Structure 1
């Protein structure tokens, strides 16, 4: 009986690792297929909560310094005349890491395309601004890149001090406002420089102001038509391989899934109650 129990523990501990290895191998196959199709280097920056441990704990991820190191390494391994396709799915992350990646992409001699199958918010949007072309799913979104100081938007800290007056706030708030003003100036400057590669200086300044100065809330979704209205080159021709790749980043298993459907395409010419596979 004890032997069976220990065998069960061994299998239970090995199964998640084996499942992860299989997923990673399948991802590599899809990425290689996309590279051969487009003649590019494919890099993924996908932050989705995944369950990878024996205890089934979900891991939340964001753009980190480690991400920047890996992306920069991949860019260095790419020939100057080879295009780069970056697939981004992220809520954002560290400004330092996002800016490092953005400038490395901006200075790559060959064409850089950023694909957004679902969302690329905050720092993810900064990466999209560095691309020669942005490809979004018709329902995907980008977002503002206004800096955040702790749990507050930098623009809101500055606005609060301005409304109350310097004499009516604490020294700590004044110091936060000082940091916030510096952060706003720095991010606005970086965004404007990235945008000047694809539009006039005056237009770049206008768009940078909209994206960085707290005109919208930090989680405000910018849809395809909104991004186009900003003057950015956006396409909605998403390669099917990217959807296939995203399906290989499963969400953590729950006792009951929150979304359920029959995972087959339904055709408009199908008789009622029948399903035809593509």
Structure 2
């Protein structure tokens, strides 16, 4: 007969219905594609209100531990399908995570976006050899943000101030109050952040998605000009659909061309969203073997 503590440990280790259901569908998808499958899901749509209490739903350095956990012992020769559902996050953490994934799987990484991968999530997608999306899926602009303010927008505001004050010095009274909210070095930091993001994504596109393409430079330039320009996208929260992304030159694979693949991807997506909605989890990083790294509140 098991003791009290043995029974307690067994209860604590029992997989709940949300985990078992989600893991079944991740395994089903991996079995169908013959590839490693890792999901990276954030509860930013379900529990975004918690960001007011300091909960970080974005990509950050702690996620590296999650990826290291779920990648350990996988058969690296099978490549990787990375399913993304994220609002974006820290650029330096994104750079580090992409470097790590590429050091393990090389260029054999596909991004799958069942619903939305914004900002840094779009940057990660651009590091992959192709992006699988549905008609309902969206990526977003990659222009850097400073405290939820677009770096491009901050520079634009300073340029407008210079222009108006130059033409009418009396405008300095108005602009002094507006510009007082910015630090003196902010413009330089904005310029560096824009250059960093654009250079990073350009290199990722060149190394993988457009590797060996004689028109790589022109295609990449068009993509960066669109996704990296606040003046073009108008808002960092802009949802960019499949047709527009394909028109830019990105290698988009339509989820709808393979009904079985679509059904399996959406089953993973729905089970992950239900898990985030019905449990305390705010982020899930998990592979097809059931190994997971989860953050909760």
The TM-score range, normalised by the shorter chain, is 0.7 to 0.9
1:230 to 2:248 alignment: yes
1:28 to 2:23 alignment: yes
- Measure, in 2, the Cα distance between the counterparts of 1:30 and 1:228: 28
- The match for 2:162 is 165
Match of 1:47 among 35, 42, 46: 42
Q: TM-score, normalised by structure 2?
A: 0.69
- Measure, in 2, the Cα distance between the counterparts of 1:80 and 1:111: 10
- The match for 1:88 is 84
- Measure, in 1, the Cα distance between the counterparts of 2:107 and 2:262: 20
Match of 1:213 among 229, 234, 244: 229
Residues 80 and 109 of structure 1 are in contact (CA less than 8 Å); yes or no, is this contact kept in structure 2? no
- For the structure 1 residues 202 and 75, does the alpha-carbon distance in structure 2 shift closer, same or farther, using more than 3 Å as the test? farther
CA positional deviation for 1:61: 2.1
CA positional deviation for 1:239: 2.9
CA positional deviation for 1:100: 2.0
Cα deviation digits, residues 139-177 of structure 1 (max 9, x gap):
111011100011210001111111212985449454221
Root-mean-square deviation (Å): 2.8
Q: Whose helix fraction is larger, Structure 1's or Structure 2's?
A: 2
1:188 to 2:198 alignment: yes
Cα deviation digits, residues 77-97 of structure 1 (max 9, x gap):
444421201111111111122
Cα deviation digits, residues 39-97 of structure 1 (max 9, x gap):
1111111112557xxxxx9x772222122332245446444421201111111111122
Q: Unaligned stretches of 5+ in structure 2?
A: 1-11, 48-52, 166-171, 173-178, 256-260, 279-297
Q: How many residues align?
A: 231
- For the structure 1 residues 252 and 157, does the alpha-carbon distance in structure 2 shift closer, same or farther, using more than 3 Å as the test? same
Residues 107 and 129 of structure 2 are in contact (CA less than 8 Å); yes or no, is this contact kept in structure 1? no
**Structure 2 counterparts to residues 19-168 of structure 1, below 5 A:** 21-49=16-44, 61-75=57-71, 77-107=73-103, 108-109=105-106, 111-165=108-162
CA positional deviation for 1:32: 1.5
SS at match of 1:43: strand
- Measure, in 2, the Cα distance between the counterparts of 1:82 and 1:110: 12
**Structure 2 counterparts to residues 263-278 of structure 1, below 5 A:** none
Q: TM-score, normalised by structure 1?
A: 0.74
1:243 to 2:228 alignment: no
